[in-house]
Amino acid sequence: MEYHVFISHAWHRSEHYKKIIEWLDASNLDYKNYSVPEEDPLHSGKKSELKKDLTNQISPTNCVIILAGMYAAYSEWIQYEIDEAVRMGKYIIGVEPWGQERTPNAVTDNASILVGWNKSSVINAIKDI
């Protein structure tokens, strides 16, 4: 089965996103990445266009991975991605960064599953869809 994955993340914390991609690439998981990485941004002009484009990126996915750093609590775009994933009934995997003591309510309230900062936990959560 090919898994269609969207990874919600803050560009200023892209090292977390890159680590998840590294884990996925090193696994035997057949997946397609629908995320919007910093090096390949959407070229939407207006806020409403960007929202539409993000919705289109999330729409074909099996799951949305939310990197649950506390910065997620203050990001309008991560909140929008969570709201869209919920609206579309997507399986939401909250990933708590290593050593973090708190998780944003937006993630804990909406995640289908919360996993720790661990390659096998993330891969198994995707496989459990």
Name the CA radius of gyration of the chain, rounded.
Answer: 13
Decide if 103 contacts 73 (C-beta within 8 A).
no
Query: How do residues 17-35 score in pLDDT, each as one tens digit?
Result: 899 999 999 999 999 999 9
Query: How do residues 60-88 score in pLDDT, each as one tens digit?
Result: 999 999 987 665 556 788 899 999 999 99
Q: Considering the entire predicted model, what is its pTM?
A: 0.90
